[in-house]
Structure 1
Amino acid sequence: MSAKAAKKFRSKFFRIAVEGDTTDGRVIEKTWLQQMADSYNPTTYGARIWMEHIRSMLPDSPFRAYGDVTALKAEEVTIEGEKKLGLFAQIEPTDDLVKMVNVLKQKVFTSMEIDPKFAGTGKAYLTGLGVTDTPASLGTERLAFSAKHPEHKLFSERKQNPDNLFSAAQEVALEFEEVEVEESTAAKLFAMIATIAERFSGGPKPTEPAPAATGDLAEIGKALAQVCTHMAQQEERFTQLQRDYREHNTGLQALRAEFNTLQSQLDTSPAGNQPQRPASTGSNSANDKTDC
């Protein structure tokens, strides 16, 4: 019994930003792009792919996650004769995103969410990648309007942190490659044990029949089959725990962003029970006396 290989898609590296790109009035710095490329680690904090930067915790929502950014790299590019640093991303999309881009031709622009000072490190980090239909020019105008008129809150509720910024969307040509991923070591072990159990319990060999096993051999076969089943159940539970952790982590990041916003508001607001210092009236020189 050979282990079957699961198939999934992975994109080629594509450019998501260039130094000097404008956002909400801020300019994307070269050092930000290099820091993001150097420090990005999906196991530390994985940037997920969101439609219009809207995050939903419901798996059946139109605004659920559509994949993950697996790697970043920074490379020098030449634009209109000028050399600049560009940031390139590789993603693993869900089947829905592959269909959305390749078949429906929707959401062909990407926009990144940058935390300029991620988790107290003082360095920039990619916290999310949005897919949108908004062209770069219109996106830049909307971002600039949002920055000048914060009372309208066009994008603030979509950010993980109030100080984060969205880049204007860039049109990309996403090319997905089908990659074969070998099954886990546990899956291979299950297949091996199942094969042994099949033989010991009297099952046929792949090419020729085998005599039925009796006595101790049959008992060993049953025991191995039970071990195989138990290990398979444990792997399923572990996989589910990983999914739950990722969903809870997404929710935690949203709560953390709300907490940071509230804390910032409290830090700049006077306490309600704090007495106000009476205004100084100056000295009354006519009544002042000096004890010499």
Structure 2
Amino acid sequence: MAKKAKRFRIGVEGATTDGRTIERCWLEQMAANYNPVLYTAVINMEHIKGYTPDSAFRRFGVVEALDAEEISDGPLKGKVGLYALINPTDELVMLTGKMQKIFTSMEIRPEFADTGAAYLIGLAVTDDPASLGTEMLQFSASAGANPLANRKQHPDNLFTEATETVIEFEDVADEKPALFTRIKAMFSKQQQSDAARFSDVHQAVELIATEQQDFSVRMEAALSEQAQNLKSHFSDALGEEVTKREKLQADFSELQLQLSREDVRQQLRPRTPGNGGSGEVRTDC
């Protein structure tokens, strides 16, 4: 299966660059204007752009999309962060899996082309945050000749402070042609011999059998999961009903006990004469 990177944060307003601090409007502009068709931000190492495919500083992927949003919790709450979706190479997946190249630094053009708005030019990964850390960037900004200048795509670009980034990947199922399409392709060849046609029929039967088996396995797993969910649901519902029934039974028993006590008190109460006499009963003999 192919690997796809989850969305992750690559910058926050107020962070250090080698000349200025990141402005909120920059992040919002980069998110709104980023378009790989217009210009693709490439992922590189240490902002060094190699020219050969086997170079240690070759390309490690591209940025596919950006979006900006306000951070809702933590020490950066209230600040705007810039988030990226990237298409990484296998090398970057392997490196981050080994806890290497886990710091990122942006290359920003404050005024890109004729737009007058900020744009993401590149994204660097590094092991050593000090190489692109606050002290290095401040030194570069104040130095007569910026030691990072030769790494920039344009002299006006700015490098941001390298910050630790959590890059997580998820498996993405490889797309494959539909079963009918693959079988149709087998029989669409022209001028085949009888042996070739027989071979195609045999392959088609095997393909159908394999797909059927895969479908059965997937269906069995799905039905088993659904059955387990239903069992859990009904078990919980039954438990709630039993609890309610037991409570009703207890309430009814308590009510019966209260009523029986009332009957006893009624029986023990002395009779009160209705005519105000002594209460004696006279008999006519």
Range of TM-score over shorter length: 0.5 to 0.7
In structure 2, the CA distance between the partners of 1:81 and 1:108, relative to structure 1 (3 Å rule), is: closer
Please report how far the alpha carbon of residue 82 of structure 1 lies from its aligned counterpart in structure 2 after TM superposition.
3.9
Aligned to 2:171: 178
Aligned to 2:188: 196
Please report how far the alpha carbon of residue 198 of structure 1 lies from its aligned counterpart in structure 2 after TM superposition.
7.0
Aligned to 1:67: 61
How many equivalent pairs are there? 200
Aligned partner letter, 1:91: I
* C-alpha distance in 1 between matches for 2:162 and 2:114: 27
* C-alpha distance in 1 between matches for 2:75 and 2:4: 30
Moved more, 134-143 or 62-71: 134-143
In structure 2, the CA distance between the partners of 1:81 and 1:141, relative to structure 1 (3 Å rule), is: closer
* C-alpha distance in 1 between matches for 2:164 and 2:57: 20
Q: 2:106 aligns with which of 105, 112, 119?
A: 112
Please report how far the alpha carbon of residue 205 of structure 1 lies from its aligned counterpart in structure 2 after TM superposition.
5.8
List gaps (5 residues or longer) in structure 2: 205-285
- For residue 40 of structure 2, give the secondary structure of its aligned residue in structure 1: coil
Aligned to 2:229: none
Question: Pairwise mapping of residues 224-243 of structure 1 onto structure 2 (< 5 A)?
Answer: none
* Alignment of 1:12 onto 2:6: yes
* C-alpha distance in 1 between matches for 2:175 and 2:147: 44
Please report how far the alpha carbon of residue 192 of structure 1 lies from its aligned counterpart in structure 2 after TM superposition.
4.8
Q: Deviations over 1:86-108 (max 9, x none)?
A: 000111111111111102x2111
Aligned to 1:266: none
- For residue 22 of structure 1, give the secondary structure of its aligned residue in structure 2: coil
Q: Which has the higher helix share?
A: 2
Q: 2:28 aligns with which of 34, 44, 49?
A: 34
Q: 1:83 aligns with which of 78, 86, 89?
A: 78
Aligned partner letter, 1:90: L
Aligned partner letter, 1:27: T
* Alignment of 1:143 onto 2:137: yes
Q: Deviations over 1:51-78 (max 9, x none)?
A: 0010012111010000111111111103
* Alignment of 1:98 onto 2:72: no
In structure 2, the CA distance between the partners of 1:160 and 1:198, relative to structure 1 (3 Å rule), is: same
In structure 2, the CA distance between the partners of 1:121 and 1:176, relative to structure 1 (3 Å rule), is: same
Contact residue 187 and residue 200 of structure 2 kept, 8 A? no
- For residue 117 of structure 2, give the secondary structure of its aligned residue in structure 1: coil
- For residue 145 of structure 1, give the secondary structure of its aligned residue in structure 2: helix
Give the alignment's TM-score, normalised by structure 2: 0.63
Q: 1:134 aligns with which of 128, 147, 171?
A: 128
Please report how far the alpha carbon of residue 182 of structure 1 lies from its aligned counterpart in structure 2 after TM superposition.
2.8
* C-alpha distance in 2 between matches for 1:144 and 1:40: 28
Contact residue 13 and residue 88 of structure 1 kept, 8 A? yes
* C-alpha distance in 2 between matches for 1:181 and 1:50: 26
List gaps (5 residues or longer) in structure 1: 1-6, 211-292
- For residue 116 of structure 1, give the secondary structure of its aligned residue in structure 2: strand
Aligned to 1:48: 42
